Amino acid sequence: MTTNEPQTAEDLLNAVGPAFSKLRRTSLLEVANPISAKDLSRTLVLNIVQEHTRDSEAEITVGAVAELLGVDPSVASRMVSDSIKAGYLIRAASQQDGRRTVLRLSPEGAELMSRLRRHQREAFDYITADWAEEDRLAFARLMLKYVDSLARLRDRSPAADDAKRP
């Protein structure tokens, strides 16, 4: 054990928050074939749109994006507009309520998200290259379990209700 490693279970659990603070999306920029910082920022919005429109009848609005990102609607609107100008998102009339405007990934947005997923895998492989395979798989399982827990909490939030509302 190095001197930087937590000594007790309490120390280990207390170190999780600062560890999350050290995680940077920019670590993805250091892997071969990097995604630009601007496009990496755009994927925050694109990921939400992709996740919430997997079902062909599901729709998501700028307001729901704001709620799910935890940002002011004007901030979400600017982020969405930037992704539209970049060609990654399309505004469309709701098929459930013609008065509403919903968001869809454009083919270019879908391609960027595919590229991001490949890039994320490359980054994981690069960062954990010197780990034992058992550790890499255990970390991957625990990370997925953690994200599933977050999703369950999010699904119980008012923002999830807004995203699902016709």
Q: Specify the pLDDT at position 12.
A: 85
Burial state string for 99-108 with b = 16 or more CB within 10 A and e = fewer than 16: eeebbebbee
Copy the structure tokens of residue 73. 């609607």
pLDDT in tens, 52-78: 888 767 889 999 999 989 899 999 999
Which uninterrupted H or E stretch holds 125? Answer: helix 107-127
Q: Report the sign of the C-alpha dihedral through residues 19, 25, 27, 28, in that order.
A: positive
User: How far is Cα 107 from Cα 98, in angstroms, rounded to an integer?
Assistant: 23
Q: Specify the pLDDT at position 166.
A: 47
Mean pLDDT of 33-42: 81
Contact in structure between 64 and 154 (CB atoms under 8 Å)? no
Answer with the residue of higher pLDDT: 160 or 62.
62
Q: How far is CA 69 from the centre of its chain?
A: 9
How many alpha carbons lie under 13 Å from residue 154 in its C-beta half-sphere? Answer: 18
